[in-house]
Amino acid sequence: MSQKSFALGLIGFPLGHSYSAAIHCAALSELGMAGDYRLFPVQPLPDGEPRLKELLSDLRQERLRGLNVTIPWKKPVQSYLDKVTSLANQAGAVNTLFLEDGHLIGDNTDSPGFITDLFACFPNLSAGGGVLILGAGGSAYSVAHAVVQEGWSIHVAARRIEQAEALKQHFNKQTGPGNHIETGSLDAESLNRLCKHQKISLIVNCTPTGMAPNIQNSPWPVEVPFPDGAAVYDLVYNPQETALVRQARQNGLQAATGGGMLVEQAALAFERWFAVPAPREAMRKAFQIASHHTAQKDQELL
């Protein structure tokens, strides 16, 4: 009798930067499970809606075992699901989809994946300080949820201030206005003023700025000094060292890219789909190999 093959995939746009296929295929192989993980480019609303519905139908019909969700669908996809987990509801964003008792369910593994890797990268980081989140998309919701649980105060800086205000309102509804979430514009003047008047212990980039192929870009204006002693975490993981991380290190700060978060959130999603411990070491190694190959190609183009 032939072994059952499991079909997995990632919804988002664009997806050229993604290492998810390498990570999940390594997990399947390590556990001796037949299957594949495919990238499904789905453009933003409204153009991408027909393709999204098609993929969700495949999941309902069990032609797919599970799906991950990335930019720009982490928030909009919720409208197409039967329900979301308590964690996803609290975080206000979804990155993992699965079928349970015939119901299409959305979960969030970004939030726990982020906080696990954050403390792995910065073990001496003290909770309870000020966190500056750059961007207000789906990833920012997951990060905000994680740091709210740790007792940090939050400042969200976004190019579209209405997005930052929507994030603030979401968390005020979840746990009340005592979250100490402030909002502002993601520009040099606003950031400079903020860093002069607020104690910022951690900066987290939740924008796609600096992601391959636009690896020379940074969300942090060069004319704005970094807060003294702040740690910098860039959710972007491709390239290995983003422009933001390079800026921070050149200014003497501890900084990390989001590769560890990518692996951890993938491991948590894998465990949700299959109810078995994910082979994290094999997944981490697959990420490192894929990232190394990309870095080599980038060097060849220089």
Beta-bridge partner residues of 154:
131, 181
Report how far residue 118's alpha carbon sits from residue 112's, in angstroms, rounded to the nearest whole number: 10
Report how far residue 24's alpha carbon sits from residue 34's, in angstroms, rounded to the nearest whole number: 11
Residue 289's nearest CA partner among 7, 9, 25 is: 25
Residue 268's nearest CA partner among 96, 81, 10, 74 is: 96
Identify the DSSP state of 125: P
Is-contact 153 180, C-beta < 8 A?
Answer: yes
Kindly provide the residue ranges of all beta strands, DSSP E only, lying in the chain, ordered along the sequence: 5-12, 34-41, 66-69, 83-84, 96-100, 103-107, 130-134, 153-158, 181-185, 202-205, 231-234, 255-257
Pull the structure tokens for residue 263.
């692996």
Pull the structure tokens for residue 151.
């007792």
Report how far residue 122's alpha carbon sits from residue 254's, in angstroms, rounded to the nearest whole number: 8
Catalytic residue (choose from 4, 53, 74, 83):
74
Report how far residue 48's alpha carbon sits from residue 60's, in angstroms, rounded to the nearest whole number: 18
Note if 75 is an active site residue: no
Q: Which residues are annotated as catalytic?
A: 74
